[in-house]
């Protein structure tokens, strides 16, 4: 898993080349600069890159991992940070309760019939979940992990498998580190809150105050959004322009949109909750991917970053290979904008055009 990966022959790239002939003719003296070849840097010889967390975790690694061409001791710091964030999620999920933003007098079944108590936003009937809460992570996280494992079985690259799992885990944990506290702090009523209230079930009433923003939606767009970016890197969509590659990369987003639409159909969230969850999920998917993988417009597109190399990439080692192409930021922003437009258009169609019986 941690075996060294093949890299380009650097000796050929850094071999000494004689200077070009002088352009001066006639009475000008020939002046040539002696160019000394740059030292060859191998990832196997760089055990202590410029990273403030190296000294803290370097001695914790077995000798075999210290000589790995890509595994860096700072990854242990990432694991610890994710454990802290996960503990934060669990603490908020099982310790704190949602803020009760209720009126002074809660209505009963008789007062709800009074037009003065008319509340069309929160009087929808209670329905069962299309995607249960326990199945949401299996659906939005399990499918991308299946792609990563199948790719590992084909390429046998522990570097790529590790960075794919680390990236999606970072995005997933940070997403819920925001979603759970926000939903319990806002305490917004779900569309079926009055039906929950009249049922008298304390657990249903408690869950009825967790509307903003949609956790199912944000988790779906984290998992499938990360998978779309990963496929975009592997297919190099920014280098060829083939439409079929773009369609393949956007296919996982259809699953995320379906998961978001099910929350509207089940009367669990308002439209604003779903849009907010989609934006937050895409933001963390974008963050988790580009923390560990090269940009979509670079020549190293689809390749994981290597912290053992100077500059946290291959650019310092291979000057002309890892250099970014022009307008890379604009290209990446255009891809994300394309995804957002597709999401917005399809959710708008589902909500306002009555697809799947929505009104």
Residues with a catalytic annotation lie at 216, 269
Structure tokens at 96: 């704190």
Q: Which two tokens stand for residue 239?
A: 């280098």
Which CB contacts under 8 angstroms, 24+ apart, belong to 147-156? 147/227, 147/230, 147/231, 148/230, 151/234
Q: Which residues contact 328 (CB under 8 A, 6 or more apart)?
A: 295, 296, 297, 298
Length of the chain: 359
């Amino acid at each position: 898993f941690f075996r060294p990966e093949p890299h380009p022959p650097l000796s050929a790239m850094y071999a000494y080349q004689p200077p070009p002939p002088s352009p001066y003719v006639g009475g000008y003296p020939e002046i040539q600069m002696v160019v000394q070849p740059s030292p060859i840097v191998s990832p196997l010889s760089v055990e202590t890159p410029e990273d403030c967390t190296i000294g803290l975790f370097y001695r914790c690694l077995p000798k075999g991992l210290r000589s790995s061409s890509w595994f860096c001791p700072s990854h242990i710091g990432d694991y610890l940070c994710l454990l802290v964030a996960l503990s934060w999620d669990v603490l908020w999920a099982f310790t704190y309760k949602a803020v009760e933003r209720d009126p002074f007098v809660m209505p009963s079944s008789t007062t709800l019939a009074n037009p003065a108590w008319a509340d069309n936003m929160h009087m929808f009937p209670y329905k069962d979940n299309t995607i249960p809460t326990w199945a949401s992570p299996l659906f939005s996280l399990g499918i991308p992990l299946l792609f990563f494992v199948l790719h590992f079985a084909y390429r046998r690259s522990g570097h790529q498998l590790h960075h794919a799992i680390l990236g999606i885990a970072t995005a997933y944990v940070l997403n819920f580190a925001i979603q759970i506290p926000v939903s319990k702090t806002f305490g917004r009523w779900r569309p079926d809150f009055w039906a929950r209230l009249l049922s008298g079930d304390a657990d249903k009433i408690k869950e009825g105050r967790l509307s903003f923003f949609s956790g199912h939606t944000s988790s779906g767009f984290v998992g499938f959004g990360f998978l779309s970016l990963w496929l975009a890197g592997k297919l190099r969509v920014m280098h060829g322009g083939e439409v079929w590659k773009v369609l393949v990369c956007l296919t996982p987003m259809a699953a995320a949109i379906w998961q978001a639409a099910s929350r509207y159909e089940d009367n669990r969230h308002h439209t604003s909750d779903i849009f907010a969850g989609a934006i937050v999920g895409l933001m963390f998917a974008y963050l988790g991917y580009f923390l560990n993988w090269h940009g979509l417009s670079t020549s190293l597109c689809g390749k994981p970053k290597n912290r053992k190399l100077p500059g946290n990439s291959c650019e310092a080692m291979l000057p002309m290979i890892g250099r970014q192409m022009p307008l890379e930021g604009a290209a990446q922003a255009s891809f994300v904008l394309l995804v957002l437009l597709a999401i917005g258009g399809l959710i708008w169609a589902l909500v306002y055009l009555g697809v799947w019986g929505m009104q």
